[in-house]
Amino acid sequence: MEKKSLNVGLKILFVIYIIAMTWIIVFKMSLPSNLHEIVGVRSLNLVPFKGTGHMNEALNNIIIFVPLGIYIGILCKKWSFRKQLIACINLSLLYEISQFIFAIGRTDITDLLMNSLGGLIGIGFYMMIEKVLKKEKHIALFIMICATFATIPTVGLLTLLKVLN
């Protein structure tokens, strides 16, 4: 597979991933017909890990942001580590602010911290893969395979879960 077609494929999968994340995080997997059911809940928590049941949610937030770090690592490899991490933090911050502005769910500092940790883990994972595989073409192919087997089934499963419920 050519490097150029790998990059195009990765960018397409990245867009699908961002759309799925936005649907999950901001819109709580709501369809347009029932969006009115989630609008109107505005909550702001600035105390990390305040409340019960946060550990499971915190782990989910880490997991969902790991691919973001990987995508940022490969698609923005010329950026410094710091700039890549700031991109992950900024996207998480954008999601949290959007939830507050549109009164959809809870804006929570814990979510921002765990999302950022997930992005950091993803960037670190990509850096490790880069060191192990060394050749850019092999790295891109490996990430493309991982992205395909992670993004496409995840979106399909989420859609199926939403349709069945």
pLDDT tens-digit readout, 34-49 = 655 666 767 888 888 8
In a domain, 108, yes or no: yes
User: For 55-87, how does the pLDDT look when each residue is reduced to its tens digit (9 = 90+)?
Assistant: 778 888 898 899 899 999 988 989 999 999 999
List the domain range (segments joined by +) for residue 137.
Answer: 12-158
What is the total count of domains within the chain?
A: 1
For residue 118, give the nearest of 59, 46, 72 by alpha carbon.
Answer: 59
In a domain, 148, yes or no: yes
CA distance 58 to 61: 5
pLDDT of 151 above 80: no
In a domain, 49, yes or no: yes
Strand partners, 45: 108
To the question of pTM greater than 0.95 for the whole model, the response is no
Burial class (CB in 10 A: 0-12, 13-18, 19+), 147: buried
In a domain, 6, yes or no: no
For residue 108, give the nearest of 53, 21, 47 by alpha carbon.
Answer: 47
81-101 and 54-75 helices cross at what angle (nearest 10)? 130
In a domain, 28, yes or no: yes
In a domain, 61, yes or no: yes
Position 92 scores a pLDDT of 96
